[in-house]
Amino acid sequence: MIPRTVLEDKIRAAWFDAQYLLAEDVREALERAEKQEQLPLARLHFGMNLRSLATTSKVRMPLCGDTGLPVYFVIFGERAIGAVEGGLATVFEVCRDAVAYATREIPMRQDVVDSFTREERIGNLGVGFPHFYQRIEPDTDFIEITAISVGGGPELMGQAAMVMLSLDGIKGIQKFVVENVVRTDSGTNCNPQVVGVGVGGSMDIACGLAKQAALLRYVGERNPRTDLANLEEELLEILNDLEIGPWGLGGKATVMDVHIETVDSHLASLPVAVYMHCPAMRRKTLRFYGDGRVEEGVHNSWFRRGHDEFGARPHYSVAR
């Protein structure tokens, strides 16, 4: 049994943790970046980031002024769905309420607005927001909810294109990624980035993969496919060689990591998408088991479950 009150308390608290603290992996990456940096301005940048982090945990204020669009990544485990008090509707209701509560109490900025009139949506509850990315996982006894605030910056610089792999090889992908990271040299969004690269599928699938790769995979985590892991390492090296640094003012840390995710694609085309997330990685994962146990702060299993030997990812594969 998963009681409604438990869901409510935990999901509300998850937004507070996400906004006040930072995802652990990114925090560590920032600390490493600060140690490596030589240039005074870049050092000042990381020093101030770390000081902000120390302040937030003390005075409990949101880390970044752009508190972002609220999104949830939900994995409904087959055997846990029936255990939720009030059924599936409860999960969605509680998740929406939690966003309104957090917007009022943390507080978060009214970032959700009508696309055309720019009218504010009270409590960040609007059409399509909070957004739910969801999938059903067979033979699993938990419901996993990851709450993430996606800032405006990461959405500004993303790009997708159709690259012809048959003509260009992997170089085409590399060039496209490098090109897009070079665009951050104007300091429009906050470096260092976590770069998500989605390859294959169709336009929408590539974009989705790129975003999920940036948001949900941890800094330092490599793709299980060796060729892709090598490509990730190579891109990471090239991108940090560019010395764009924080705000395009120079520095060693331009990107924190590169995550490539792939599915198969049509014979005629290769969709590639790049998504860059800033260091304000506000994510928190909760796991509610059918028997009432709750796990907090666990590593999300969005990309981790059910890899078959060909490296196919379950959330997009249909026939197995």
Partner 1 sequence: MSSEHALTTPLRVEDIEDVKAGDTVRLTGCIFTARPRWYRRVLDEGYGLPIDIEALGTNVLLHSGPVMKRLPSGEWKMATMVTMPDWMADGTTGNIRRMLERLHLRAIIGKGELAGTDELCKEHRCLRLITIGTWNDFACNVRRVVDVAWLELGASEAMWVFEVDRMGPFVVEADIHGNSLYAQRRAKREERIKQVMEERGLRQFNYSTPAYPRFLRNFER
Give the footprint of partner 1 on this chain (CB under 8 A): 40-41, 44-49, 51-53, 55-56, 59, 61-67, 106-110, 113, 118, 120, 161-164, 167-168, 171-176, 178, 182, 185-190, 238, 241-244, 246-250, 280
- Name residue, tokens 């309104």: 100
- Tell the smallest beta-carbon distance from residue 164 to partner 1 (Å): 4
Q: Which C-beta is closer to partner 1: that of 188 or that of 317?
A: 188
The amino acid sitting at 94 is V
Nearer to partner 1, 15 or 176 (CB): 176
Task: Give the nearest distance from C-beta 135 to partner 1 in angstroms.
Answer: 31
| Closer Cβ to partner 1, 6 or 162, answer by number | 162
Residue whose entry in the numeric block shows the structure tokens 């507080």: 107
Between residues 52 and 134, which has the closer beta carbon with respect to partner 1? 52
**Closest approach of partner 1 to the CB of residue 20, in Å:** 10
Q: Which positions ≥6 away from 2 have C-beta within 8 Å? A: 80, 83, 84, 85, 143, 288, 289, 290, 292
Query: Whole-number minimum distance, CB 317 to partner 1, in Å?
Result: 27
Q: How far is the CB of 210 from partner 1 (least distance, A)?
A: 16
Nearest to 25 by CA among 214, 216, 212, 219: 219
Residue whose CB is less far from partner 1, 14 or 106: 106
Residue 43, helix vs strand vs coil? helix
Write out the two tokens for 86: 């009030």
Tell me the C-alpha distance between 155 and 197, whole Å: 14
**For the CA atoms of the chain, what is the radius of gyration?**
20
